[in-house]
Amino acid sequence: MDYTHLGRTGLSVSRLCLGTMNFGPETSESDSHAIMDRAHEHGINFFDTADVYGWEKGEGVTEQIIGRWFAGDPARRDRTVLATKVYGAMGDGPNDEKLSALHIRRSCEASLRRLQTDHIDLYQMHHVDRDTPWEEIWEALETLRAQGKILYAGSSNFAGWHLAQAQEIPRAHHRLGLVSEQSIYNLMNRWVELEVLPAARHHGIGLIPWSPLNGGLLSGAIRKQREGGGSRSGSERAAAGMAAHRDAIEAYENLCGELGEDPAHVGLAWLLGRDGVTAPIIGPRTIGQLDGTLRALEIRLDDATLAKLDELFPSPGPNGDKPAPEAYAW
């Protein structure tokens, strides 16, 4: 396994991050535990979850599954860089969601109980809260950090402007602030290259791409359809993406065939080679899927292949090979 630092911190994390959103809804608890065991065997030490995963309001189903796995062997927690999130509705009350100091405190305490741990390594804001001042948010997070309940703070689904804005208060107080940003990023969705990725690099914030295969569309979806599989790429969102980009996806699969590589592994390898990317989030539903994913760490895409990928899936803007504002203005 390859490792890198999380953003500008000294924390070492694996180049692949184990996403756990399938634990509970898609993958049984016993299989989820087996996948986490295998991840450790492969050297994957970076696990990502969220209080809302499991999609039963207030239950934190996925966090509970992880917590029972930790309880089975305390050494597992020591070997894991654990990330979870706060923002989503965990109840029906007016203070049961978003990023008020009250909700942050309550949510952190609840996540700690479900995860059966005394601290969270990376506590991430699951979305920007436009109604809560940054002074309040950072005071709540710094209090949790002073109490030893969280070590690092991260964000998810922020715009480049939000990353810059969020860093103003920590910088003024000579504090660390954000160390990571979780954004959707893949060959088919490259919007973060305009402003989020440049902002993250400037502020020393590591980018953690979610949906690295765009809901399965970059995992050989056309081939799987022909073979009667590809359930993930059968969703309404994926179907719309397939209809709009079928020619490019087919050309991509043909290119991967010429390389002798699985399309899913090529998509991950492309992300791993992007400047500023810390670790794409993989969401295996089986041990076999997890084992196969490691091939992406070995693939090195040459300049000719990268140029072909840019032709098939160009970065947004008329001058998409440049960051904002040059991507769309002089």
Catalytic residues: 53
Spatial CB neighbours of 220, under 8 Å, sequence gap ≥ 6: 230, 253, 256, 262, 263, 264
Q: Residue 260, exposed/middle/buried by CB under 10 A (0-12, 13-18, 19+)?
A: exposed
Question: Letter for the amino acid at 217?
Answer: L
* Amino acid, single-letter form, for residue 300: R
Q: Measuring CA to CA, which residue among 1, 15, 30 is closest to residue 286? A: 30
151 in Cβ contact with 176 (< 8 Å): no
1 contact partners, CB below 8 Å, separation of at least 6: 14, 15, 16, 42, 43, 44, 294, 297
Structure tokens at 226: 């022909």
CB 153 within 8 A of CB 123: yes
Question: What's the chain's Rg over C-alpha atoms?
Answer: 20
With CA atoms as reference, report the closest residue to 186 among 207, 212, 208.
212
Residue written as token pair 């029906």: 92
Distance CA 111, CA 115 (A): 6
Convert 107-141 to b/e letters by CB count within 10 Å (16 or more is b). bbebbbebbbbebbbbbbbbbbbeebebeebbebb
